[in-house]
Structure 1
Amino acid sequence: MRLRCEVEVVSRLLPTCGLRGRGRGTTALLALGRQPGGTRDGGGVYLMVCTARDRLGARYKVRENVERFFTRFVEEGKATVRLREPPVDVCLSKANASHLKTFLSAVRLAHQGTDNGALPLSALVPAKASDVEKAKTKMIITSRKDYPLTKNFPHSLEHLQASYCKLARIDSRVLGLKRLRKLDLSHNHIKQLPATIGDLACLQELDLHDNHLESFSGALCCSSLQKSLQFLDLSQNKIRALPIQFCRLRGLVQVKLDDNELIRLPFRIGRLDHLRFFSAARNKLPFLPSDFRKLCLENLDLFGNPFQQPNPLVPDVQLKVPLTLLECAARATVNHRIPYGSHLLPSHLCEDLEVAKTCQCGQACLSSFIQITVTMNLHHVAHTVVLVDNMGGTEAPVISYFCSLGCYSQFLDRYLQSNG
């Protein structure tokens, strides 16, 4: 029976000498086994603790030598075994919870004198160096020659950077690193993202700037990244548009889209409630989506986009009178928040309802509406705004929708009065 975790062996005599332990553990391999020549009644069972400094291991007799087990935090991978002789506490942490429970159960049985044949014992042999080395959590690779071709990445990695490696695709070995929190693949030649990157359930930061990406998969937006992803850098790529599902990445705090070929932003961008830092400088955006008004940002950078000059007096009228039955039903579904899904409606209707437009009166409209662009001061949605042009402007055109001629007329009256 073996267990790999962090261990600190603390002598209970230290306080009497005015001393105290370090307060932190070291990577160790614990083994429960029988001393050569020991009896089968459990008397020869020892707990061996091997560390990088002492790979031969310190051995502690177990039978009738455990004073107490502290298991209050065993679900967090923490426990303490208090021994009578020598008077030490073996403090365990960062262990797999289920493995820890099994190990403690075996130690308890050995303490009670259970027959060796009923115990899952291991040979008390010195630990290998790989068993007691501290798990590697960070790896930074900044050249192709340093990129591992034959060796696997350590499964304990939480932060991986592989930049300037001329990677044309994401290595399948990377997709198996389930503990990854930060993945930096910037400055490569990646053209496409595999859907399996969405299986990295712990991923919080994804940096893909300066690659050859032409799209961002909608499947990724529907994966476990919806909850985990907080930082996304897609700058310096060739992306023309982001999928409708992009706004399902509700945990995003910072998004960088600079130096792409974007002709529009996600229609429902206002659903990104936690978004605080947003940049889409030097793209091809003619205007901002209506939902942009709902954002609450700390910093916003839209410099260098060819924004159109808004003219509310020249509307794009796509109003159909009388409204079709489909339009009436769609408006009622959205306005009354009636649940829908692919099990009730054809998929194309579900997609249309997802991008239903909202009139300034608060009512929904689907394909029958009046559209205009109006000027919005970007300080209404962001505390700090980078100037949008070399003239010192902080205003940009944003789309507005109206569900009826009456709503547009009311807006027009207010607009003419304020500009009269």
Structure 2
Amino acid sequence: MKLHCQIEVINRLHSSLNIRSSGKYLKSTLALIKEPKNETEYSLLLFSTVNKTGTKYRVKSVKQMFVKFVNEGKATIRFEEPPHDLCIKCEHIQLKCFVKLLRSCITGDTKTIHLAKLSSVAVTHKETPTKLVIRDRSGFPIKGFPRTLENLSISGLNICNFRRDILLLKQLVVLDLSNNAIVAIPPELGNMPNLAELHLANNQLGVKGKIDWRWLLGQQIKNRLKLLDVSGNELRYLPKSIWKVQSLVTLKLDKNLLEYLPNTIGRMNNLRYLTIAQNNLISLPCSMLQCHLDYIDLSDNKLDDGGTAKSEMLKNNPWEMFVASLVDLAARVVIKQKMPYTSDIIPWTLVEYLDDANTCICGEPVLSKDHYSYREFQLKDYSRVVVSNNNRKNTVSFLCYYCSPKCA
């Protein structure tokens, strides 16, 4: 049996000499074979493009197998001689089968096992595909997507439904589904363990009005996703829970129907590139003043409109001193200390209450919506590069909420 995977070989003698491992996984093939002279003995043959001649390990030298994370496609085989550890990353179903077969060889339960002999195993590394670009419908693989894919592009085919076989690609890092007609993303996408870039531009996610954003709350995608492109989808709103994708660095929202941005966007500590051109924004949330953006594109919005209405709104909401409730005080601490909270820990009503919190111009959380006004700020003071329409003031209107009379 051959296993196409990624392997890091760790020499345990190096650790005793304070020599650190490189930490690099190489694309490799691990073959389980019979010895030609003795059919009751088995060996593991490891070879790759770097090691074309291959390295042979006797199965009887296996000291221990670490398979705690085999469901995530990870396992380690430790040999007594030579003192090597083979750290394996692979598609989890294939890895489970390989581990089961290896255990049978170790225990001697090999009556129903048929393995190739050493002489019939070619010592050449089979290149496993890691990138696939599909430009027409005839380009889909007949046997399904290779499980080793790291980059998949299915663009411009006008497909309406998300292909669920994509969810089986556990090694996938970049997924490009732009320029199609997809109307919904399955919640299971949030469990993709390595997905770092998701391109969904020019689809129809917002056509039906109500959008299922549950895929954004998957534990894996919250920790991995660095780029999200949902431009050109007729989106009318973003979920308040967008801030929970804390790994996000680039967010593209161009060419939608957004009239406002959620206040929680200011909690995205790693966000650096934000494009929201060609929308219907009248103002920006005050929390964005806390984002240290490197680049923001605000062009072709309505940020210069509605000045009279804003002035009247301010007059109708004079500042009054208030005493916060115990719930408000507790919520402020949770938000300020960045404590994690989900509906599994606290009631979902409290989750919504916390997600609905605003941010004062001083950076403090604000739970009350009674005290606010629109204020003009020079966005270039808060971001390195600003792309916007030319106006005389060179300022942008922000909807500001206040935590105390001092800030007002």
CA-to-partner distance for each residue in 1:171-216, whole Å, 9 max, x for gaps? 0111221221110001111112111111212110000111112065
Instruction: Confirm or deny that 1:273 pairs with 2:269.
Output: yes
Contact 1:270 1:292 in 2 (8 A): yes
Tell me the distance in 2 between the aligned counterparts of 1:366 and 1:275. Answer: 23
Offset at 1:309? 5.4
Distance 1:61 1:226 in 2: 39
2:287·2:363 contact (CA, 8 Å) conserved in 1?
no
1:156 aligns to what? 148
Residue 30 (structure 1) shift = 1.9
After TM superposition, the structure 1 = structure 2 runs for residues 312-391 of structure 1, keeping only pairs within 5 Å, are 314=312, 315=314, 317-318=316-317, 328-337=325-334, 347-360=348-361, 365-367=366-368, 369-386=370-387, 388-391=388-391
SS at match of 1:32: strand
- The code of the aligned residue for 1:139 comes to L
In the TM superposition, what is the alpha-carbon distance from 1:100 to its structure 2 partner? 8.3
Segments of 5+ residues of structure 2 without an aligned counterpart are 9-24, 68-73
Identity of aligned residues (%): 26
TM-score, normalization by structure 1: 0.70
Taking the aligned partners of 2:402 and 2:363, their CA distance within structure 1 comes to: 9
Q: C-alpha separation between the residues in 2 aligned to 1:249 and 1:61?
A: 43
> For the residues of structure 1 that align with 2:266 and 2:127, how far apart are their CA atoms?
44
Number of residue equivalences: 367
- The corresponding residue for 2:301 is 305
Determine the structure 1 residue equivalent to 2:33.
32
CA–CA separation in structure 2 for the residues paired with 1:7 and 1:347 = 43
Aligned 8 A contact 2:4 2:27 in 1: no
1:86 maps to which residue?
none
Letter in 1 for 2:331: V
Deviations 1:78-123 (A, max 9, x none): 778979xxxxx9996756688888888888x7xxxx9x67799643
CA distance in 2, matches of 1:7, 1:334: 46
User: In 2, Cα distance between the equivalents of 1:279 and 1:155?
Assistant: 33
Residues 259 and 5 from structure 1, CA distance in 2 versus in 1: closer, same or farther, beyond 3 angstroms? closer
Q: Distance in 1 between matches of 2:351 and 2:130?
A: 43
How far off is 1:29 after superposition? 4.8
Residue 138 (1) aligns with residue 139 (2): no
Aligned equivalents of 1:362, 1:271: Cα separation in 2: 10
CA-atom RMSD in angstroms: 4.6
For the 8 Å contact 1:175–1:197, the answer to whether it is kept is yes
Instruction: Compute the TM-score of the two structures, normalised by the length of structure 2.
Output: 0.72
Deviation per CA, 1:283-335: give whole Å up to 9, x if none. Answer: 000000010101111111111101135577540645797969xx634432334
| Cα 1:190/1:228, change in 2 over 3 Å | same
- Counterpart of 2:222 in structure 1 is 226
Q: CA deviation at 1:143?
A: 2.1
Cα deviations by residue, 1:252-278 (Å, 9 ceiling, x for unpaired): 001111111111112111111111111
Q: Which amino acid aligns with 2:240?
A: I
Q: Distance in 2 between matches of 1:117 and 1:49?
A: 20
When residues 200 and 7 of structure 1 are mapped into structure 2, their CA distance, relative to the original with a 3 A threshold, is closer
Cα contact 2:248–2:270 (8 A) shared by 1? yes
Question: Partners of 2:333 and 2:109 in 1: how far apart?
Answer: 68
- Residue 19 of structure 2 is matched in structure 1 by none
Match of 1:241 among 212, 231, 237: 237
SS at match of 1:369: coil
